[in-house]
Amino acid sequence: MKDNEKFHALERLNSKFEMKLDDSYVKSSVMSILFKLSRNHRHKVHLHFKTFPNADVARQNKPTKYNLSQENWEKLCDLFSDPKYQRRCERNARVRRNVKLTPNQGSRAFVASRYALRNDDQEPNRTDFFKATHHSNDKGWTTSEAQTAYEKMVELQSTPVEEGAEPKTIDDIVDEVLGTRSGYIPGLGYGPKPIKRNQVQIHST
């Protein structure tokens, strides 16, 4: 995204939602989500471009469902034809093939999935949410690594707490299995962990 596009996108969001964009963490999280949406949109347009034998033919066949002007479409055709961009796409494709914990929700944001999975206005805990976004009854687990990670979470939850030790929360366990990243919660998305009415803990047996 160009600087002017970032500015206009933030202005539109700020006019529709109450956000603390003066908070650097909030702003960086919002920008990360916008970048992801922008990449997903460009990917869909790129797929349309690749259905044509060359860029000249593609320029004459602007997609109708992506709200693009002819000028913007031709700029994208130039981008998609650039050897540097093509090499970057090939490199990114190799990286994606090596991703071990692939969610099953496509381009849908984690926050939207969490909202859809609410039960009595309560979001699922992180273990249940991880399973919901990496497993389906029809297709099973997205990867064997995802299945292993979930089974490790379940194992840690059922492990008795040693006498005098502090019981681990669901968040502690998932962080231990998936690791942590600054500003991002693996298996959950951007932002702070959801606040629940009762913090779920693993009690000693």
Q: Which two three-digit tokens encode residue 45?
A: 């347009």
Q: How far is CA 87 from CA 57, 60, 62, 107, 179, in A?
A: 22, 25, 24, 23, 31
Question: Which pLDDT does position 198 carry in this prediction?
Answer: 45
> 183, 28 in Cβ contact below 8 A?
yes
Mean pLDDT of 54-63: 95
How far is the C-alpha of 28 from the C-alpha of 167, rounded, in Å?
33
CA dihedral 12, 18, 21, 25 (to 10 degrees): -120
Mean of all residue pLDDT scores within the chain: 81
- Band (pLDDT 50/70/90 cuts) for residue 191 is low
Question: Which pLDDT does position 87 carry in this prediction?
Answer: 92
- Band (pLDDT 50/70/90 cuts) for residue 116 is confident
| Contact residues for 62 (Cβ-Cβ < 8 A; gap 6+) | 68, 70, 73
3-state secondary structure of 122: strand
Phi/psi class of residue 174: alpha, beta or left (left: φ > 0; alpha: ψ in -120 to 50)?
A: alpha
Mean pLDDT of 127-140: 91
Question: Which pLDDT does position 45 carry in this prediction?
Answer: 95
